Chain A
Amino acid sequence: MAEIQIKNVAKSFGAYQALNDINLTIADQEFMVLLGASGCGKSTLLRIIAGLETATSGEVWIGGRRIDHLSPKDRGIAMVFQNYAVFPHLTVFENIGFGLRMQKLPNDEVTRRVERVAGLMHIEMLLKRYSGELSGGQRQRVAVARALAMEPDVILMDEPLSNLDALLRMEMRAELKGVLAESKTTAIYVTHDQVEAMSMADRISVMHEGNIVQAASPIEVYRNPAAEFVASFIGNPPMNFLPANPQGGGKWSVAGQTWDGPATEKPLLQFAIRPEDMMQTEEGLTAIAKVVEPLGAHILVTCDVAGSQFRVILDSEMSVRPGQKLTLSPQPGRARWFDPETTLAVA
């Protein structure tokens, strides 16, 4: 069992507050992705869990044991670094076996484990090579194998795929997910790539300015963003926003249209909708198409709605030309509402 609990962890570098009071529980064998833009504190949080950075305050527990005062090697973790950190002076074999050698395991045990994980990562034929003779993708495999060879409770990954080219990244994504599921370790994976986060995670923690804004399943994060930041960060393109004025009785006026919304006394809300959740209707928002981008199955139309930019994704069967007037309505149940004061979602 390797449940991870992060309790009230904060970190400041001088006057700069990198993390504010982080609380997060990661279940045993869960694949948790920390997602956020650079500088949001996700790597700092990972490094605190790894023991490469000390939290200013707070506690970290792994498997019911408080570990924030222990050195990295005593925490039952292994890590995959962004630049791989594959030791250039050691062969692939010795790289994978590095941690095992440090534990002074007998030779045959080291060989057995190294060969097993090398097989898992499909790098058996590279064991005698040095890292200078490997491609980026192969180095990445060595770095992952080195972590797996430790048979850790928790595996930490700091943007492990960001240095690979797009095609390789897609391939490794699926492979890594499979290997980690099989190894039954708890995984924390840091990335700024939301596609990576969506496709790999059991749960995503969206981070922003040193806070976890939402920690939920990928679909939940996508469908029901807990805050405006999440709505504007997740999705490509992200959600559209329009100001909504109260009409009383849960009715809200959005760009001249009156729609059902939350029954709240707030003086102003933000109406939000995913581009693919708008449909063409007889009556609805008046949108002037500005740019039309064919995406294959769909077309992405950037429009102007009451002076704001508004993107919709429509079926590519439809022919839309720039300058054309569209009337659009949200698909039932897909509109989301945010309080501009707190930036949080309003139900």
Chain B
Amino acid sequence: MNPRILPYVLILPVTVFLCMFFLYPFVLVAQQAFSTETGFSLDNFREVVDYWRFPISLQNTLLLAAAVVPFQVGLALLMATMVNRMKRGRDMILYIWTIPLGISDLAAGIIWLAIFDQSGFLNSMMNGLGVIDQPVNLLSYQNPGMVFLAIALAEIWRATAIMLVILVAGIGLIPKEYYEAAEVFGASPWKRFSRITLPLLRPSLQTALVLRVILAFEIFAVVAALGGTLFPVLMGETYAYQFDLRNGGAAAAMALIILAISIGFTLIILRALRVPKGASI
């Protein structure tokens, strides 16, 4: 076969697959979002944005992302550095730390519900220690901070490992000689991290952050399990439009808004962590 067309032939199946199951449905969703019975209109967007729950769910989603993602970056960096320093047992620790990756987000939410629930571990523990006399409902509308904390904790527990895996791979790509040179030229361990590791890790940080931020805006199951309707988020609202209110147009509009936010943040991250020409490893 002509070697010039061979690559295109080889990627044809996956291209067809993506067009059929990704691009085509996406076009349908976009069509649904931008049309009502009367034809093209922005009514669906107007409707979802004007609804009273929209600002609060947007705010909750952004707050959660703002609280969880930076913490996860820090934690993943710390864990990746530790794993990288390990001589023995490195792989085992890495496997153990990545176990939560194998658990679905709903299951993760339920695990943390079992901790924070009125009859959960936390209550029985506090009761056993005599901190409280009787079980309290931690996840109620009277404790919005607690609900937020529980969701944030569950998210950190569940989704830090994905960043960890990417960062461990990224740190492994940095040649050892850079650290030796930095050490000889007087860089302390902290300076070696901040002046060598961090800047050279930019490509991996980019990937990890983009992935994690997109997932943070799509948060749904953990919130549904722990907060229910107490803590509205964008994806929850989308679900409600589609399945509770049977308003497909509004749900499609919400989906596009989430997509737009994700794309916006992706561009910001790519821009902020870009590597100048000629400056890659």
> Which residues of A approach B to under 8 Å, CB–CB?
50-52, 71-73, 77-79, 81-83, 85, 87-90, 98-99, 102-103, 129-133, 146, 150
Contact = CB atoms under 8 A, between A and B. Distances in A.
B177 interface: yes
B191 A87 contact: no
Contact of B178 (A71, A87, A130): A87
Contacts of A50: 184
Nearest to B180: A52
Contacts of B146: none
Interface residues on B, range: 20 to 34
Contact of A51 (B184, B200, B279): B184
Contact of A102 (B186, B202, B279, B280): B186
Given A89-B275, A132-B277, A73 B175 contact: no
A89 B200 contact: yes
A237 B181 CA distance: 37
Contact of A129 (B182, B199, B275, B278): B278
A308 to B, nearest CB: 44
A85 B184 CA distance: 11
Interface of B: 175, 177-178, 180-187, 191, 196, 199-200, 202, 275-281
A126 B71 CA distance: 40
Contact of B199 (A52, A71, A89, A98): A89
B200 A88 contact: yes
16 contacts: A52-B180, A71-B183, A72-B186, A73-B186, A79-B180, A81-B177, A83-B175, A88-B200, A89-B200, A102-B185, A102-B186, A102-B187, A131-B278, A131-B279, A132-B277, A132-B280
Contacts of B200: 88-89
Closest 7 CB pairs of A and B: A132-B278, A99-B185, A102-B186, A73-B186, A85-B181, A130-B278, A133-B278
B176 to A, nearest CB: 9
A103 B184 CA distance: 12
Given A85-B180, A89-B200, A99 B186 contact: yes
Nearest to A156: B184
A130 B185 CA distance: 19
A85 B186 contact: no
Contacts of B275: 89
Nearest to B179: A85
Task: Please indicate which of the listed interface residues A81, A85, A102, A131 has the most CB atoms of chain B within 10 Å of its own CB.
Answer: A85
B175 A78 contact: no
Contacts of A129: 278
Contact of A73 (B180, B183, B277, B278): B183
Given A85-B177, A89-B199, A130 B184 contact: no
B198 to A, nearest CB: 9
